[in-house]
Structure formats: structure tokens, C-alpha cells
């Protein structure tokens, strides 16, 4: 029998017979490791303990202490256990697929009757029963004919379609959790008893088309979350409760910021309060960009198909584009255009207009570009996932030698904006060359090193994601962490030599010859719509005074104070504050409660004492009690707080 060599994380190596399993390797190292082992990684590929290892490589044995592989297995196994539980309770239900996702999993079912929230409790109880039975998990490789015969006999049409989608010659792996069987790539745990019975929760039910195709059957999707222990899931459920309180759709209604409606799916109707946030944020970004050397442009919404073909978007992105056909000059021949889904090709057109020299580089170009992308209706989510949005889009045209300096400059630029907006906790992901790529290895080496060096020079570490870059260049992604621990990927910087090549962008170098520029796609916020949603949820609607849509309400305690209320409002507005009067015939406590629900940061209460003394009683949102200030003091103090961070 041939021998293979397995190298362990500590650098030691051992020889084993070909076909040895990771379980057998663990047992050869220590009985205690064999007992604790849950899976392994072979050359960074996550494998099942029961799979035979045919060739030499690097092997790491995982236990429940290894968070990433442990969570993947727990969530994947629970998807199977949930499907088994559903079919145990309702034997006529047909199963489809159940992938792992953030924090948990989902599984799609074909059932005539709708699942109810009460059903989730019954399914959970059956799942715990299966887990507590501690039944073994086993796996086999089947040939295609056997698998087809099995699922035809079981009456599982969705599994038959999945088999048909698997390329000929590829293994068909079957897994059994106890006596319940599923087609699955694996890996899985070795026993249902390894699952934490007190660390999972079924959360909700939703509809989903089979394989995401609206022309296919509508299925029922059950979602679950799972962690390694009870404390972790308790913390997660607490976070979900807090997230529900902070939901930007709920706060958007309470603060009267925006609404959505069926006649314009995925489009935002901004109300005056919401638009105040929008333009204040946009004005702030505009000033920051100008200060950092950007020129601002504006490009067309509707662009001919020919440009999208030249840029490559027509072939690769057409399904996400809104097509516009126009009968030009009634010629009875329609011209095909598209609403722009991104701004990049249009910015190259601006660059191409007129001769550019190396002395013009780097050229930093920015646009608040309104874009439209088709998103499936089921993917839309408030203002976080929309079809019409505006990006704080920017493109830096530079030479390869300028990439590192421009990247560092952008990281510093982004860092200052995130700090001003209340996000100190963020990290950088560096995605490097994929398997299929263009360009020389030497060029990739230089550009990847430039991005990494720029991060370090800017004082930031980065997390490496090998193979996740675009086919034409590496990229940086900037991930925010909000007040309740959720991550949001917002900022990006993408190195792109491809689009300037496709669209024939050139500059004259110091040698007098024409050269291609490198294009750096960059954004700080991403889209204004999504980022405003993140801001609302991060702050629970309690935005800082400079961003608050309604900054100050001046509320009368008695009607005799109305004239002074008007004077106070006028003084605040003259100082640049968004101030409004509330002289309704209501009690002051009622007014304070109502404006607190609307997240107004400052309420000035005015009674006869304030009128006589020319003072105001300042109440802060969520603060206990109030402070008495002269009108001059109050206006000066609030005006300072209301100034955007870059103007203080």
C-alpha cells in the first residue's frame, strides 16, 4: 500500500497509508484528540473525519474550540436535523436545500399547508429529541443511477433536479443523520449528539422561489440560528431584540423620514426630515472630497448600449440593468439604452475628453452618481437594499507607481470620515488574485504589495482573503462594526487596469508616448441610502445634532409664551439651526414625549418664567431634567454642536 505524508500545524510530519481518514489520524496522535475531533482541514479544505485522504498534504484536526469550522458544522448539521424533524412531523413534505448562512442556516420545503410560528416550537422539540438520541452520522459515495432511483422511489423531485445539475463524473455524496438521508457535499459531525441542544433557535418563516427563479415553485423557508453554547445564542438573541428596536424602517416611520410603496418598488420617497439627513451628509462629503483634491462631475442617467458593451457590463451585468428603448426621431428603429447601474464607464468618458498628461495624474474624480440596478423583489429591504440609489462614487486615475500613495491617502480620508460619523471600530479586508485573472504575476505582486504597504503605512492591519479579488486586480474592503456588534461592508478600493484598456483611456507620459492609466474605484459610504440606514440603526435614531433631521423644538408651556417662542425659533434659525415651534394647546410633558419619540435632540421649554427672564429650559433627548440658559447662551451652545465636524 502506498504511503502519504501528512504535515501538521506545528511543522511535524508523519507517514500514513493512502486512504487513511482524519479520524484515524487523530486516534494515532492521542485518544483524547480522537474523542474531541469534529473535522479536519486538508490543505485548507474543510473535510469530514470519515473521508479517505489519498495524497500528501497539510492536515489540521479541529475540535469545538476552533470557532469557524465548529460553527460551520453545527449550523450545517442542524439544517439536516431540522429537515429530518419536519419530515418526521409531516411525512408528505418535500425537501430541497439547506445552506449555512450568517449566524445560522435556512432550509426550503415544499408543503401544501403554510408553516405557522407555532409549528416552529414543535420542530424545535423534535430536533432536540433527535439530538438527544445521539445517533451516528455516516456518509457514502453513490453512483448517479443509484441516487436517481433512490429519489424517484422517495418522491423527491427537487433532489432529482439537483442531481441533474451536478456535472457528470462528480461524486454524489450521501449523508445519514440517524435513519434520515440527504444529498450533501459535507462535511458533517460524527454524531447528532455532538450538537448543542440548547444553543439553537428557529427564528422565522419566509417564502422563497426554488433556486431563486420567480418562474419556479414558491417554497417555504425556515430560518434558524445556532452557536456553540447557550451563552453565545443568548447574546445573539439579545442583539436581535435590540436590532428590532433599531430597525431603520420602524424608526423611519417614527421620525417621518421616508416611505416606500408598490408603485415604485425599491425606490425611496424621502420626506423633509429624511432629506435633511441626506443633504447634510452629502454636503459634508462634498466638502471633504474637495479638501482632498477631488473634482466633482455629473454624468448621464441613460447611456447607450454601445458603451455598456465596450465596458463589458452588457455581457456580465445585463440582468441587473434597466433597459430603455427609444424610437429616435420616429425612425421606427429603436435605440437600446440602459439606466446606468454604476458610474465607472462614464467617468472614463470624462477622462478621455481632452488630452491628458502624466502631470495631470493622479486625477481624483468624484460624483454623487444616481444609479439603478434590478434587485429581486424578495431581496429588497427598506432603504438598505434598493433599486435606485446614489453612490459617493470616486475614481482615481493614476500610474501603477502612484497606487500605494493614493491608497494610503484614501485610507486616511476614509478613516477621518468614519470617525466623524461615529464609527471607530472598522477593519480592512485585502482580497488578492483569483485563479482566473489577467495580467502578469509580477504586476499582481507589485499591486498587492502596494495595497498591503499602504494599509500598514496608514497604521491599519488587514485581513487577507486569498483568491477573492476581481479578475483584473486586488481590492480593499472596509468593514464597519456598529453599536450592537454587526458588521457592515461599506467602503471599497478596487485596482482596475482593465476598464481603461477596454475604453481606450490614455495619457502622455514623460517619454512622450501614450500610456494606460490605472483606475482606482473607491467609495467611503457606498450608497447614501444604505449608509443612512446604517447610521439610523447604529444610533437608534439618536443622531448627533449636526445630522439630526429635526435639531431643536421650541415648545410653549402656556399660550402667553407664544410670541417669545417665535423669537427663540428665529434666533436659532438665524444661527443656522433647524428649529421649529410647538405652540399647540397641549401639556408640556405630552410635547416632550412626542418629540422624544421623533428623536429630537434638543427641546427648549418656554413658560412665563423664561419669557420674563429671557431664558430657555433646555431638555436633552434621554437626559434627566433640564438646564436653564439665557437665550444667547443656548443659541451659541447649540450652534457649535450643530456645526458639521469639518467646520468646527
One domain for residues 116 and 41:
no
Question: d(Cα 113, Cα 508) in Å, to the nearest integer?
Answer: 69
| Residue 330 pLDDT > 70 | no
One domain for residues 524 and 550:
no
pLDDT given for residue 317 in this prediction: 86
Give the HSE-up count for residue 605: Cα atoms under 13 Å, Cβ half-sphere: 22
CATH of the domain at 622: 3.40.50.800
Question: d(Cα 197, Cα 212) in Å, to the nearest integer?
Answer: 31
pLDDT given for residue 493 in this prediction: 96
pLDDT given for residue 425 in this prediction: 85
In a domain, 106, yes or no: yes
Q: Tell me which of 118-132, 274-288, 353-367, 434-448 is least confident.
A: 434-448
User: What is the pTM (predicted TM-score) of this model?
Assistant: 0.84
| Residue 133 pLDDT > 80 | yes
The domain boundary residue, chosen from 528, 555, 589: 528
- Residue 362 banded pLDDT, cuts 50, 70, 90: very high
| Residue 41 pLDDT > 70 | yes
Smallest CA-to-CA distance from 600 within 622, 616, 630 is with 622
| Residue 485 pLDDT > 70 | yes
- Residue 502 banded pLDDT, cuts 50, 70, 90: very high
Percent of the chain with pLDDT over 70: 99
In a domain, 557, yes or no: yes
Task: Kindly state the average pLDDT of the residues 592-619.
Answer: 96
The domain boundary residue, chosen from 497, 528, 559: 528
Give residue-wise pLDDT tens across range 134-149: 999 999 999 999 999 9
Q: Tell me which of 25-34, 373-382, 493-502, 568-577 is least confident.
A: 373-382
Question: d(Cα 254, Cα 48) in Å, to the nearest integer?
Answer: 50
In a domain, 638, yes or no: yes
In a domain, 432, yes or no: yes
One domain for residues 459 and 608:
no
One domain for residues 581 and 628:
yes
Buried b (16+ CB within 10 A) or exposed e, 306-339: ebbebbebbeebeeebeebeeeeeeeeeeeebbb
Task: List C-alpha distances in Å: 112 to 94, 115, 198, 460, 617.
Answer: 10, 9, 31, 54, 62
Buried b (16+ CB within 10 A) or exposed e, 211-229: eeeeeeeebbbbbbbbbee
One domain for residues 476 and 385:
yes
User: How is residue 29 written as a grid cell?
Assistant: 496522535
pLDDT given for residue 582 in this prediction: 97
Task: Kindly state the average pLDDT of the residues 554-573.
Answer: 97
Q: Is-contact 299 347, C-beta < 8 A?
A: yes
In a domain, 538, yes or no: no
Percent of the chain with pLDDT over 90: 89
CATH of the domain at 32: 3.10.20.30
One domain for residues 335 and 308:
yes
pLDDT given for residue 331 in this prediction: 61
One domain for residues 563 and 621:
yes
Task: Kindly state the average pLDDT of the residues 392-399.
Answer: 96
Give residue-wise pLDDT tens across range 414-453: 999 999 999 988 999 999 999 888 888 999 999 999 999 9
Task: Kindly state the average pLDDT of the residues 611-625.
Answer: 93
User: How is residue 147 written as a grid cell?
Assistant: 441516487
One domain for residues 72 and 58:
no
Task: Kindly state the average pLDDT of the residues 519-540.
Answer: 96
Bond prior to 73 in cis (omega within 30° of 0): no
The domain boundary residue, chosen from 496, 528, 560: 528
- Looking at per-residue pLDDT, the higher value among 620 and 330 belongs to 620
One domain for residues 353 and 409:
yes
In a domain, 533, yes or no: no
| Residue 529 pLDDT > 70 | yes
Q: Tell me which of 65-74, 205-214, 359-368, 398-407 is least confident.
A: 205-214
One domain for residues 306 and 362:
yes
pLDDT given for residue 436 in this prediction: 87
Smallest CA-to-CA distance from 259 within 547, 267, 379 is with 267
CATH of the domain at 163: 3.30.980.10
Give residue-wise pLDDT tens across range 151-192: 999 999 999 999 999 988 888 999 999 999 999 999 999 999
Check whether 521 is labelled as a binding-site residue. Answer: yes
| Residue 630 pLDDT > 70 | yes
pLDDT given for residue 214 in this prediction: 80
Task: Kindly state the average pLDDT of the residues 512-525.
Answer: 96
One domain for residues 39 and 156:
no
Quick count: other Cβ atoms within 10 Å of Cβ 482? Answer: 18
Question: What is the residue range of 150's domain?
Answer: 68-243
pLDDT given for residue 365 in this prediction: 97
In a domain, 540, yes or no: no
Task: Kindly state the average pLDDT of the residues 560-565.
Answer: 96
- DSSP for 88-125 reads HH-TTPEE----EETTEEEEEEE-SSPP-HHHHHHHHH
| Residue 524 pLDDT > 70 | yes
Q: Is-contact 243 129, C-beta < 8 A?
A: no
Number of domains in the chain: 4
Give residue-wise pLDDT tens across range 289-299: 999 999 999 99
Give residue-wise pLDDT tens across range 3-17: 999 999 999 999 999
Task: Kindly state the average pLDDT of the residues 300-321.
Answer: 91
CATH of the domain at 508: 3.30.930.10
- Residue 329 banded pLDDT, cuts 50, 70, 90: low
Which residues are annotated as catalytic?
344, 373, 391, 393, 395, 475, 521
Quick count: other Cβ atoms within 10 Å of Cβ 357? Answer: 10
One domain for residues 507 and 582:
no
pLDDT given for residue 378 in this prediction: 77
Amino acid at each position: 500500500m502506498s504511503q502519504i505524508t501528512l504535515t501538521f500545524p506545528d511543522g511535524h510530519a508523519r507517514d500514513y497509508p493512502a486512504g487513511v481518514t482524519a479520524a484515524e489520524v487523530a486516534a494515532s496522535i492521542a485518544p483524547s484528540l480522537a474523542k474531541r475531533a469534529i473535522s479536519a482541514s486538508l490543505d485548507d479544505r474543510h473535510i469530514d473525519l470519515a473521508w479517505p485522504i489519498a495524497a500528501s498534504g497539510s492536515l489540521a484536526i479541529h475540535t469545538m474550540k476552533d470557532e469557524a469550522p465548529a460553527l460551520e458544522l453545527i449550523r450545517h448539521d442542524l439544517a439536516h436535523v431540522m429537515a429530518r424533524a419536519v419530515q418526521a412531523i409531516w411525512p408528505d413534505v418535500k425537501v430541497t436545500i439547506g445552506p449555512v448562512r450568517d449566524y445560522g442556516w435556512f432550509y426550503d420545503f415544499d408543503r401544501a399547508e403554510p408553516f405557522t410560528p407555532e409549528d416552529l416550537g414543535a420542530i424545535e422539540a423534535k430536533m432536540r429529541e433527535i439530538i438527544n438520541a445521539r445517533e451516528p452520522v455516516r456518509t457514502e459515495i453513490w453512483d448517479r443511477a443509484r441516487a436517481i432511483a433512490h429519489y424517484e422511489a422517495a418522491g423527491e423531485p427537487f433532489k432529482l433536479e439537483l442531481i441533474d445539475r451536478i456535472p457528470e463524473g462528480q461524486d454524489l455524496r450521501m449523508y445519514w443523520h440517524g435513519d434520515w438521508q440527504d444529498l450533501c457535499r459535507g462535511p458533517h459531525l460524527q454524531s447528532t449528539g455532538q450538537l448543542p441542544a440548547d444553543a439553537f433557535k428557529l427564528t422565522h418563516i419566509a417564502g422563497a422561489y426554488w433556486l431563486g427563479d420567480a418562474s419556479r415553485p414558491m417554497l417555504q423557508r425556515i430560518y434558524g440560528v445556532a452557536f456553540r453554547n447557550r451563552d453565545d445564542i443568548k447574546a445573539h438573541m439579545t442583539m436581535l431584540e435590540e436590532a428590532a428596536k433599531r430597525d431603520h424602517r420602524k424608526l423611519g416611520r417614527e421620525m417621518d423620514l421616508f416611505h416606500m410603496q408598490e408603485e415604485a418598488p425599491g425606490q425611496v420617497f424621502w420626506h423633509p426630515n429624511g432629506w435633511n439627513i441626506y443633504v447634510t451628509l452629502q454636503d459634508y462629503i462634498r466638502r471633504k472630497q474637495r479638501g482632498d483634491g477631488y473634482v466633482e462631475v455629473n454624468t448621464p442617467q441613460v447611456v447607450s448600449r454601445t458603451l455598456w458593451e465596450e465596458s463589458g457590463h452588457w455581457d456580465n451585468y445585463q440582468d441587473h440593468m434597466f433597459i430603455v428603448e427609444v424610437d429616435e426621431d420616429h425612425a421606427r428603429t429603436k435605440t437600446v439604452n440602459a439606466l446606468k447601474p454604476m458610474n465607472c464607464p462614464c467617468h472614463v468618458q470624462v477622462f478621455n475628453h481632452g488630452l491628458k498628461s502624466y502631470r495631470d495624474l493622479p486625477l481624483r474624480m468624484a460624483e454623487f452618481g444616481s444609479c439603478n440596478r434590478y434587485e429581486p423583489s424578495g431581496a429588497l429591504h427598506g432603504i438598505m437594499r434598493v433599486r435606485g440609489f446614489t453612490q459617493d462614487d470616486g475614481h482615481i486615475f493614476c500610474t501603477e507607481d502612484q497606487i500605494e500613495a493614493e491608497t494610503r491617502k484614501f485610507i486616511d480620508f476614509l478613516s477621518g470620515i468614519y470617525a466623524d460619523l461615529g464609527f471607530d471600530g472598522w477593519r480592512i479586508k485585502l482580497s488578492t488574485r483569483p485563479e482566473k485573472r489577467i495580467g502578469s504575476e509580477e504586476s499582481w505582486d507589485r499591486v498587492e504589495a502596494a495595497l498591503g504597504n499602504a494599509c500598514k503605512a496608514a497604521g491599519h492591519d488587514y485581513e487577507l482573503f486569498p483568491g477573492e479579488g476581481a479578475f483584473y486586480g486586488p481590492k480593499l474592503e472596509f468593514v464597519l462594526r456598529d453599536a450592537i456588534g454587526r458588521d457592515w461592508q461599506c467602503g471599497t478600493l478596487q485596482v482596475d487596469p482593465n476598464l481603461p484598456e477596454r475604453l481606450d483611456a490614455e495619457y502622455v507620459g514623460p517619454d512622450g508616448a501614450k500610456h494606460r492609466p490605472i483606475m482606482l474605484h473607491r467609495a467611503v459610504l457606498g450608497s447614501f441610502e444604505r449608509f443612512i440606514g446604517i447610521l439610523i440603526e447604529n444610533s437608534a435614531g439618536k443622531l448627533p445634532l449636526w445630522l439630526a433631521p429635526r435639531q431643536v423644538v421650541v415648545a410653549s408651556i402656556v399660550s402667553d409664551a407664544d410670541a417669545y417662542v417665535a423669537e427663540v425659533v428665529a434666533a436659532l434659525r438665524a444661527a443656522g439651526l433647524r428649529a421649529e415651534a410647538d405652540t399647540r394647546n397641549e401639556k408640556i410633558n405630552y410635547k416632550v414625549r412626542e418629540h422624544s419619540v421623533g428623536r429630537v435632540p434638543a427641546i427648549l421649554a418656554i413658560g412665563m418664567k423664561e419669557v420674563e427672564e429671557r431664558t430657555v429650559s433646555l431638555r436633552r433627548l434621554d437626559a434627566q431634567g433640564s438646564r436653564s440658559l439665557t437665550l444667547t447662551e443656548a443659541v451659541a451652545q447649540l450652534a457649535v454642536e450643530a456645526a458639521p465636524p469639518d467646520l468646527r
